[in-house]
A and B are shown apart, each in its own frame.
Chain A
């Protein structure tokens, strides 16, 4: 799998390169600033990009901006954004085009290499992976009205795990119920959110977007 890596701190870039190589990823470009990242993304059209938010030249949200721009030029380009902090605002911006293949995680998640690599693969496969911390903040708004108010607490729980990028099998394992029960919950969720039948991956993305925008 071909990966573009963007991280301005040498130690982290080096460490992540080695980590990904150990899991049989091919690093086609490792860059350390926004403009180079945009170029690399558009030129290489990688299977997935792993991008740090804060990079030169402005040391603001350079990486996020480059990723968003690249996705406007190459729709659906899989991008996993890493950051020292997570913001709902940025999660929404990443998910706004509705194309999926987006991840947004705290940098700490790299610690657990299995889970991190799993997230990279999931994003490359068109899924969405949103950091549990963003999800946790969303859960504080459960009073709000909106399409989500129709969901049962259990369905909400399933949806939040879905937003974290977990498969039905993983959700079933986490909640200690059968996978069949989970697919029943998910189809209920899709129906309540008014998502028409289509391929499951796309509906998962749309459900997560609805979740984040509630």
Chain B
């Protein structure tokens, strides 16, 4: 069957077989989706009951859990729409207010906020209409196929079936053993039904997916509201981070280079006064001034590195990460696509994110080696930092990863951490971006 000759001589048959397989799968998925309308109905019943009980107070406690059940069912349908029907249905719910674990007043507030979310009502509408519309769409192919198969069965097993008390009619054909023509008719009709069922299965599955999206996806207004909220939050974060950064720079300059320059000026002044009277002391003061200037330079250099690393400015992200890898206390392997130059703020965000993850790995993971991968394509910059350490890292546990998450969010970037206990830890980050053309050779540039 799977011999090389068969595949070589019959490629058409092979693809047809695959296609029939897909159709059978589609019909099977329809059957599963049909069964899933049962929990949807149950959830609808639970929510409606809880709402009815709100008038006697206890409903206030029952509505939120009932709605959580409903949301679970709806989320399951969203996942399946993505996995089986290739239709992305984003979750539409408003983010939960953080403080709903409180007294009775907080519970009431929480209950009301859930009820005020339009997505709740759309879910509810879906849960009562899907058992009709979705179920019909899901059931039709598999019903046709089963009925078709029954056509063959009734012909073959007429005797036992009628004795068991089943009708001897197949659709509009009266099946009798005396009439040989009916055997042909039932087989032909059965075959036609199976073909029809398989034929419409993929299309109906897609239609069913679109139907699910119609009610389960967020409305345009909800999407927009979310976007606005996201932008507001990330803007506030960005402004805060920026302000904190400026304060740090100001403090570093004030305590460091600035005060050293003051000391230098004093030393030089004293040296000038002592030049003739006490040349030896003057000489020492001058040497001290020289050392001060060297220290001031070192401090400014470190400060600059923290603001914008020179290699990043010179060469862009990949070389800057390579330089970072060379400076790391751990052996770091860098695998990178030629990324070209990105927009400066984005480049810096990506660089500092990787730098922070690397620092985390060096500090906490007890890793032996680290691998950094940078991949750029389809308008997305993907970065992965993998270490072979002890694992157990999570965004919620440390402030470091949370900080990266916030800073990446400003650029609509995301971070994901996979770090089982015992390792390995993989931190994946994605930033949407379009790169400008790679830096052209430096000497041909025009000033």
Contact = CB atoms under 8 A, between A and B. Distances in A.
Contact of B443 (A53, A69, A92): A69
Q: Is the interface of B mostly helix, strand, loop or mixed?
A: helix
A35 B446 CA distance: 10
A7 interface: no
B405 interface: no
Interface in B36-57: none
A87 B305 CA distance: 11
B442 A34 contact: yes
Interface string B365-376: 000000000000
Q: What band does the interface of chain A fall in when counting residues whose beta carbon is under 8 Å from B? A: 20 to 34
A88 B443 contact: no
Contacts of B326: 87-89, 92, 137
A60 B442 contact: yes
A184 interface: no
B293 interface: yes
Given A87-B310, A111-B293, A141-B329, A58 B445 contact: yes
B315 A61 contact: yes
Contacts of A84: 297, 301, 304, 310
B446 A57 contact: yes
A167 interface: no
A34 B314 CA distance: 14
A33 B447 CA distance: 10
Contact of A88 (B305, B315, B323, B446): B323
Interface in A1-57: 33-35, 38, 53-54, 56-57
A87 B323 contact: yes
A105 to B, nearest CB: 13
Interface string B294-338: 100110010011000011011100010011001101010000000
B290 interface: yes
A58 B290 contact: no
- By CB atoms of chain B within 10 A, which of A56, A61, A144 has the most? A61
B313 A60 contact: yes
A88 B319 CA distance: 11
Interface string B358-387: 000000000000000000000000000000
Contacts of B323: 87-89
A111 B445 contact: no
A66 B310 CA distance: 18
A108 B293 CA distance: 9
B327 A137 contact: yes
Contacts of B293: 111
Interface in B260-304: 290, 293-294, 297-298, 301, 304
Contacts of A140: 329
Contact of B319 (A54, A66, A89): A89
Interface of B: 290, 293-294, 297-298, 301, 304-305, 310-311, 313-315, 319, 322-323, 326-327, 329, 331, 441-443, 445-447
Across the A-B interface, the 3 shortest Cβ-Cβ residue pairs: A57-B447, A60-B314, A61-B314
Interface of A: 33-35, 38, 53-54, 56-58, 60-62, 65-66, 69, 84-85, 87-90, 92, 107-108, 111, 137, 140-141, 143-144
